Amino acid sequence: MLYRPFGNTGVEVSILGFGAMRLKEVERNGQWEVDEDLAIAIIHRAFELGVNYIDTAYGYCHGNSERVVGRALKGWRDRVYVATKVPTYLIESRGDYRRFLEEQLQRLDVDCIDFYHFHALNQERFENVVLKYDLLEEARKARDEGLVRYICFSFHDRPEVMMRLIDIGIFDAVLCQYNLLDRSNEEAMAYAHSRGVGVAVMGPVGGGRLAGPYRLLQQLGGEKYASGPELALRFVFSNPHVSVALSGMNTMEMVEENARIASRHEPLNDEEMARIRTMMREYQKLADLYCTECAYCMPCPNGVDIPTNFRLMNYYRVYGLEDWAREEYRKMPEEKRASACLGCGECEPKCPQKISVRQRLEEVARTLEE
Ligand code: SF4
Ligand code: SF4
């Protein structure tokens, strides 16, 4: 495993981090539960292979992720850094920050959270939640009391907003989106790095879409790459401003493969980068429907499964899996299909990618119901 300094924190983090947002879940009597034994075995394998950074959040896995991560940390706490996020979207008063922090310390069963993020900051939330309730002061207090080691934020907005937040000078690290398909934060990441702010990235394999069978990989050299994630991860690791890339791993194979890639220093060479740039121009249409399947737009009051519809559309359009996408669409219960959207618009303000969900769902229904 390779390690890099995490901004000016003095901490060295593994370039591969464990993202605990996609642990395998099972539904029991209408309640979602994490398959804990499996999740813990997978997390432990990652730790054994040198991963020393695990990232969770209050809301991940229907609110169960932090507790499972807490269990997985038993026996590893002195070797692994834990990151979690205060749910800024649930904060309604100044006292809420401390209330969530105490609950999260309890769920994780730790005395201190290493990297405590303000979850999903954008300009609006920074002003109307963080500043409004004086949460930077709350964060400082928590750090002074030793409950939090580093103050961080995860980010979904325009790069210039990220730079403004960095300029405040209180943040030790930022977590933002970055992958082959979305390089919009590249300049802001370089800025963060130059200011000694650690950069963690999420979505290194494009919300899973680069992990499937796809033409890009073949056109880039076919056999040469063992898999889609390999190319995607090597691309992210090639950026020296990235300290740690989080991957939402939920199988042993994924952990083994990602750890193997993160253990070799093999940045993409100039020729590979040039081919990627050409290919990306050709595949610009990917950016048109850039759904990361984060599910922030869910639940839809009418039962539409928004991320699944978009995933099928991407497979149809981008990877050319037209019959397969239509078939999968037909297999979905009618109320989950794009055609069941009633156009209420409730989902759209919740989408960090600012996708025009209603318009896009219409397109999905038109295309996949043909
Ligand atoms: S606009 Fe459609 S998909 Fe969005 S919440 Fe309303 S019914 Fe659901
Ligand atoms: S539509 Fe937006 S909010 Fe919904 S899953 Fe996709 S990216 Fe996330």
The rounded Å distance from CA 342 to ligand 1 centre is 6
Statement to judge: residues 238 and 362 lie in one domain? no
13-17-19-23 Cα dihedral, nearest 10 degrees = -130
233, 261, 282 - which closes a domain = 282
Residue bearing the CA closest to ligand 2, atom 6: 291
Q: Looking at ligand 1, which atom is closest to the CA of residue 306?
A: 3
Protein residues whose CB sits closer than 6 Å to any atom of ligand 2 = 291-297, 306-307, 310, 350-351, 353, 355, 357
Q: Which pLDDT score, from 0 to 100, does residue 211 have?
A: 44
The single-letter code of the amino acid at 106 is: Q
> In this structure, which residue's CA is closest to atom 2 in ligand 2?
351
Strand 113-121 vs strand 148-155: parallel, antiparallel, or unpaired?
A: parallel
Q: What pLDDT sits at residue 212?
A: 41
Whole-number pLDDT of residue 349: 94
CA of 296 to the centre of ligand 1 (A): 13
Hunting for tokens 């595949």 — which residue is that? 283
Write down which residue in 282, 305, 339 finishes a domain: 282
Mutate to test the pocket of ligand 2, among 306, 312, 314 (most ligand atoms within 8 A of CB): 306
Q: Are residues 68 and 95 in the same domain?
A: yes
Residues 6+ apart with CB under 8 A from 52: 1, 3, 13, 14, 79, 80, 81
Which of 140, 133, 170, 174 lies closest to 157 in space, CA to CA? 174
**343 CA closest ligand 1 atom index:** 1
Residue closest by Cα to atom 2 of ligand 1: 341
Domain count, the chain: 2
CA 292 to ligand 2: nearest atom: 7
Name the nearest CA neighbour of 247 among 292, 206, 202: 202
Q: Are residues 320 and 187 in the same domain?
A: no
Quote the pTM value. Answer: 0.76
- Say if residue 315 is in the same domain as residue 181: no
List the domain range (segments joined by +) for residue 332: 287-368
For a mutational test of ligand 1's pocket, the pick from 297, 334, 341, 360, i.e. the residue with the most ligand atoms closer than 8 A to its C-beta, is 341
Does residue 293 share a domain with residue 269? no
pLDDT score recorded for residue 235? 86
Query: What letter would DSSP give residue 147?
Result: S
> 352, exposed or middle or buried, with CB in 10 Å at 0-12, 13-18, 19+?
middle
Which pLDDT does position 275 carry in this prediction? 73
Task: Tell me which ligand sits closest to the C-alpha of residue 303.
Answer: 1
Q: How high is the pLDDT of residue 214?
A: 47
Per-residue pLDDT tens listing for the chain (370 residues): 999 999 999 999 999 999 999 899 998 888 999 999 999 999 999 999 999 999 999 999 999 999 999 999 999 999 999 999 999 999 999 999 999 999 999 999 999 999 999 999 999 999 999 999 999 999 999 999 999 999 999 998 889 999 999 999 999 999 999 987 678 899 999 999 999 999 999 987 765 555 443 455 555 554 555 456 777 888 899 999 999 999 999 899 999 999 999 998 778 888 877 777 776 666 655 555 678 888 899 999 999 999 999 988 887 877 667 888 898 899 999 999 999 999 999 999 999 888 999 999 999 999 999 7
- From CA 24, how far away is CA 3, in angstroms rounded? 27
155 and 23, same structural domain? yes
- Shared domain for 47 and 171, answered yes or no, is yes
Q: Which residues line ligand 1 (CB under 6 A)?
A: 300-302, 304, 306, 341-347, 357-358, 361
Q: Are residues 216 and 84 in the same domain?
A: yes
Do 362 and 239 belong together in one domain? no
Closest CA to 296 of 337, 353, 336: 353
Question: Which numbered atom of ligand 1 lies nearest the CA of 346?
Answer: 5
* Closest ligand to residue 345's CA: 1
152: domain CATH number?
3.20.20.100
Distance 362 CA to ligand 1 centre (A): 11
Residue 133's contacts (CB-CB under 8 Å, 6 or more residues apart) are: 91, 93, 94, 96, 97
DSSP assignment letter at 264: S
